[in-house]
């Protein structure tokens, strides 16, 4: 699912304040990159991006991301499950992974596991800046194995 933003943010939907950044990569991998998010303080719009993935019902999933914050206050990603395969309609459940690190300018990992609801068919991962920023995201995954 292009978890590492190799060459581009292909497969992800980016808001106007989220851009592909070829100069920053969580694994210092040339040819890869990350997504940079900023905030418009005059409108309080925060950069975000998301994608929809199909999921199985009643299944344990591992998910997470690597994030780097330009200032404290951070980053977050939200995982939300839906019935059907198009990530539409009412959310069945959701959970949020916020950066807990106070480190600035270094990549840190946030991960969790969750069981999909009995009627789940799809899930969105949506990530956004929640502070002054800027922030970067890389290696965003949702897997049945604990890896990206």
Of 80, 75, 77, whose CA–CA distance to 90 is shortest?
A: 80
Out of 3, 4, 70, 122, point to the residue binding Ca ion (CB under 5 A). Answer: 4
| Residues within window 81-110 making contact with Ca ion, judged by CB under 5 A | none
Task: Give the number of other CB atoms < 10 A from CB of residue 20.
Answer: 16
Distance CA 143, CA 72 (A): 29
Min separation Cβ 19 and Ca ion, Å? 14
Out of 49, 136, 138, 141, point to the residue binding Ca ion (CB under 5 A). Answer: 138
Interaction of residue 5 with Ca ion, rule CB under 5 A: yes
* Closer CB to Ca ion, 32 or 38, in the complex: 32
* Closer CB to Ca ion, 31 or 43, in the complex: 31
Which residues, 6+ apart, have CB-to-CB distance to 14 below 8 Å?
20, 35, 47, 49
| Residues within window 13-32 making contact with Ca ion, judged by CB under 5 A | 25, 32
In the stretch 29-68, what mask flags binding to Ca ion with x, by CB under 5 A?
---x------------------------------------
2 in Cβ contact with 50 (< 8 Å): no
Nearest-Å Rg of the Cα atoms of the chain is 15
Min separation Cβ 138 and Ca ion, Å? 4
Distance CA 98, CA 131 (A): 11
Residues within the interface to Ca ion (CB under 5 A): 4-5, 25, 32, 138
């Amino acid at each position: 699912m292009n978890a590492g933003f190799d060459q581009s943010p292909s497969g992800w939907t980016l808001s106007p304040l989220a851009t592909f950044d070829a100069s920053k990569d969580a694994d210092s991998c040339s040819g890869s990159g990350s997504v940079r998010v900023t905030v418009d303080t005059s409108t309080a719009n925060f950069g975000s991006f998301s994608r929809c993935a199909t999921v199985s019902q009643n299944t344990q999933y591992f998910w997470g991301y690597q994030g780097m914050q330009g200032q404290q206050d951070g980053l977050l990603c939200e995982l939300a499950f839906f019935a059907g395969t198009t990530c539409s309609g009412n959310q069945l459940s959701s959970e949020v992974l916020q950066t807990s690190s106070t480190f600035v300018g270094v990549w840190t990992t946030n991960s969790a596991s969750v069981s999909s609801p009995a009627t789940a068919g799809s899930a969105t991962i949506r990530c956004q800046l929640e502070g002054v920023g800027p922030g970067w995201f890389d290696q965003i995954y949702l897997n049945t194995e604990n890896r990206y």
